């Protein structure tokens, strides 16, 4: 049984979504992707919130 992490870092999220880390950071800078800032430099993404965000932005039939 594989345990999924609750939070992902930028690079892990980028790999999961098949996007570049740079594009993920741009989405964060634009305020388009939900995230949690931990300290000054660390950004984490709640996997549940990211999945909801994806569902909200889905185009066409699923």
Domain region containing 19: 7-56
Tens digits of residue pLDDT in 12-32: 999 999 999 999 999 999 999
Structural domain includes residue 49: yes
Structural domain includes residue 1: no
CATH code for position 35: 1.10.10
What percent of the chain shows pLDDT beyond 90?
Answer: 82
Structural domain includes residue 15: yes
Structural domain includes residue 16: yes
C-alpha separations of 37 from 13, 52, 59 in Å: 15, 19, 29
Structural domain includes residue 2: no
For strand 42-46 and strand 36-38, is the pairing parallel, antiparallel, or unpaired?
Answer: antiparallel
Total domains, the chain: 1
Structural domain includes residue 62: no
Q: What pLDDT does residue 40 have?
A: 92
Residues 6+ apart with CB under 8 A from 20: 14
């Amino acid at each position: 049984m594989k345990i999924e992490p609750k939070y992902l870092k930028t690079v892990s999220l980028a790999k999961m979504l098949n996007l570049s880390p740079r594009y993920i950071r741009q989405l964060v800078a634009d305020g388009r992707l939900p995230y949690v800032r931990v300290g000054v430099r660390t950004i984490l993404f709640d996997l549940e919130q990211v999945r909801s965000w994806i569902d909200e932005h889905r185009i066409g039939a699923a």
